[in-house]
Structure 1
Amino acid sequence: MKTLTTTEDLAAFCAEARTHDYVTLDTEFLRERTYYSKLCLIQMAMPGETDDNAVLIDPLAKGLSLEPLYDLFRDTSVVKVFHAARQDLEIFFIDAGVFPEPLFDTQVAAMVCGFGEQVGYETLVRKIAKGSLDKSHRFTDWSRRPLTDNQKTYALADVTHLRQIYEFLANQLQKNKRAKWVQEELQVLTNKSTYIVDPENAWKRVKTRTTSGKFLAIVRELAKFREDYAQARNIPRNRVYKDDALVELASTKPATPNDLGRSRLLLREARKGDIAEGILKAVEAGLACDPANYPKVDNSRDKLQVNPALADLLRVLLKAKTEQAGVAPKLIAPASDLDAIAAGQRDVPALSGWRREVFGDDALRLCEGKIALAAKGKDVTIVEL
């Protein structure tokens, strides 16, 4: 097992990788103690059946630059293959503002090839590569050095089996002509907005039971301060204060340090210093907010006039169409989207892109009374009207 610790060795490996059609990649990282993921290890493999052309890259090695890897990411002649790539891509985007191009995600490809929703790597290794994985190091501290041979073996398996999985899925996509389905799904993964957390909108992730404008204005300011503070210091937002403490602060509206001292849920470190000052200023700003600028919760779907009979028919249609296509129903449309369609909404994912081909077009025809559903043995068939 070769571990690359110099920029020169990484550049040489990436130069060789450019002579192949694809490379497989994975990362190991830590995020428990930081806001942004700490990259600890990169695994890569070129096509083949042995471990000879697979390497580990140590981003913690002194003086190592990842620029040769990023140059490979920009080389569109080589497909970069990941499994469940979102967190990996976030690391590279935050570090260098670059996305691998072209990208292939075997989890996404497996979903459209009939392996179910969010299928795990271990499942694909078992079903496609006919292998098994040792998951004993799943929760290891990848920042500690030196890495053991067992850790290296575990890490390398995440890219060596991936070669066979990629070749199988790529062949399946070519056969069933679903490659564009995968490309549509990957557009979200390669969109910068997927990885940028805007402090102004951080409040939308806080669960509350109150829709009061003044209350939500305070929540917005508290969430904004927490996000700014956590990003600037690269610490988890929960280390500033947790959501339940944030909601408590929005309810009690502390105005002085003594008020903060009476909080039941606020961490001791947050009752003094910069955090305490930030909390008090955030509460003050929320209280001073013009009612015209109060945040509003989008509850439009809660007020939909759903036709329950039509919603049930759409569920039957969805089951029939997904069984025929060999994809998981939830991948096409969750129950809430079916209710929205039955209530007359048309801006749902199931009615666009490849989902429209599989289900959306017939769903609209069902809503318009142009088709009916009939049982034929164990199957549900469409009847033209």
Structure 2
Amino acid sequence: MKTITTTEELARFCEDARGHDYVTVDTEFLRERTYYAQLCLIQLAMPGKGEDTAVLVDPIAGDLALDPLYDLFRDESVVKVFHAARQDLEIFHVDGGLIPRPLFDTQVAAMVCGFGEQVGYETLVRKVARASLDKTSRFTDWSRRPLSEAQKKYALADVTHLRQIYEYLAAELARTGRDKWVAEEIEALTDPETYITRPGQAWKRVKTRNTSPRFLAIVRELARFREGYAQSRNIPRNRVFKDDALVELAATKPQSAQDLGRSRLLLREARKGEIADGIIAAVKAGLDCPEAELPRPDKARDKPQVNPALADLLRVLLKARTESYGVASKLIASAADLDAIASGARDVPALSGWRREVFGSEALRLCDGEIALAVQGNSVETVPL
């Protein structure tokens, strides 16, 4: 198996790849000790069975720039094929400032083609490629060199079988006319905003029952400081302080190092130096925030007034429609989406795009009392009223 360690070798492979319709891509990375993923290995394969059609690209052991790969990613005549692409795309967006286009995600395609919820790569290899994977190297340290032969074999399998899986799913989507459904789903994956975390918006991920605007202002400033500090030093945000400590700080409002010393949840390292100074400054900023600039509770978090009977009927309808179409139900609507529809919300993703065709239009008719559900044999059918 070939390992690329120079820019020139990478350029030659990428130039050859341009002669094909697609290239399969995967990465190995570490993220436990850093804010941003540490790229350890890139796997690439183009159609064919020759030894040079699938390679490992080593950004650690080699002296290479990834520019040739990024040029290939920009070439819209070549489809870039990933499985569960989100984390891989984030790496390339952070490192190279781009997102590969056009993109094909076999996990999304498999869910559309009836392979179930969040189908794993191993399942597709077994069902489509009729092969098995040795997963013993999955959780190894990919930053250590040299890589073992077992690691290389495992990594390469993530792109070699992907060729057959892609060709099968692409043909199935074309046959059923569902390629446009997958294209809608991939729009979110190719949106750069998906991979940008802005410190000023980080507070929205913090779970708290206290909805006081002043309290939320302190949460916002603490989360802003933590996110910016973690990004600038490339460390996990929980290494600065965890969410439970953040909520505690927002409640106790420490204004001095002595106050910080009374915290039950704050790490010892955060009670002094830059982090301590940042916490105190963030609390002050939250307390001093003008009334007009205070954050307000997210009304979307409020539990809607759900019609439970209607929500149950929508669940039955969703199951019937997804079984009929062979599409994973979670790809269409979550339990929260169904509750929202049953409470009267109409800005739910399940009611637009291809989801409306499969489920949304019938769901609205059910809500409006235009249809009923009836059991016919082993299936559930809609009946006009």
TM-score normalised by structure 2 residue count: 0.97
* Separation in structure 2 between the aligned mates of residue 321 and residue 51 of structure 1, nearest angstrom: 45
SS in 2 for 1:372: strand
Q: What does residue 106 of structure 1 align with?
A: 106
Q: What does residue 71 of structure 1 align with?
A: 71
- Contact between 1:6 and 1:61, CA under 8 Å: does it hold in 2? no
Q: What does residue 377 of structure 1 align with?
A: 377
* Separation in structure 2 between the aligned mates of residue 116 and residue 51 of structure 1, nearest angstrom: 33
* Separation in structure 2 between the aligned mates of residue 169 and residue 267 of structure 1, nearest angstrom: 49
Q: What does residue 252 of structure 2 align with?
A: 252
SS in 1 for 2:129: coil
1:140 maps onto 2:115 in alignment: no
- Contact between 1:260 and 1:271, CA under 8 Å: does it hold in 2? yes
1:192-213 deviations in Å (ceiling 9; x for gaps)? 1100001111011111121122
Q: What does residue 159 of structure 1 align with?
A: 159
* Separation in structure 1 between the aligned mates of residue 59 and residue 122 of structure 2, nearest angstrom: 25
Q: What does residue 332 of structure 1 align with?
A: 332
Alignment of 1:92-241 (within 5 A): 92-241=92-241
Q: Offset at 1:114? A: 0.4
* Separation in structure 1 between the aligned mates of residue 121 and residue 26 of structure 2, nearest angstrom: 11
Aligned residues: 385
* Separation in structure 2 between the aligned mates of residue 23 and residue 139 of structure 1, nearest angstrom: 25
1:305-357 deviations in Å (ceiling 9; x for gaps)? 32222222212211111110011222211122112112221100100111000
Moved more, 302-311 or 366-375: 302-311
Q: Offset at 1:360? A: 0.5
- Contact between 2:4 and 2:62, CA under 8 Å: does it hold in 1? no
Identity of aligned residues (%): 74
Q: Offset at 1:301? A: 5.9
Q: Offset at 1:48? A: 2.2
Moved more, 242-251 or 43-52: 43-52
Q: Offset at 1:300? A: 4.2
Q: What does residue 368 of structure 2 align with?
A: 368
TM-score normalised by structure 1 residue count: 0.97
SS in 1 for 2:302: helix
Q: 1:216 to 1:301 in 2, by over 3 A?
A: closer
- Contact between 2:22 and 2:81, CA under 8 Å: does it hold in 1? yes
- Contact between 1:34 and 1:236, CA under 8 Å: does it hold in 2? yes
Runs of 4+ that moved beyond 4 A: none
Q: Offset at 1:368? A: 2.0
Q: Offset at 1:147? A: 1.0
SS in 2 for 1:40: strand
1:292 maps onto 2:264 in alignment: no
* Separation in structure 1 between the aligned mates of residue 107 and residue 303 of structure 2, nearest angstrom: 35
1:133-191 deviations in Å (ceiling 9; x for gaps)? 11111111111111111111111011011111111111110111100111100011110
Aligned amino acid, residue 296 of structure 2: K
Aligned amino acid, residue 360 of structure 1: G
Alignment of 1:340-359 (within 5 A): 340-359=340-359
Moved more, 312-321 or 170-179: 312-321
Q: Offset at 1:251? A: 1.4
Q: 1:33 to 1:347 in 2, by over 3 A?
A: same
* Separation in structure 2 between the aligned mates of residue 50 and residue 12 of structure 1, nearest angstrom: 15
SS in 1 for 2:259: helix
Aligned amino acid, residue 354 of structure 1: W
Alignment RMSD, CA only? 1.3
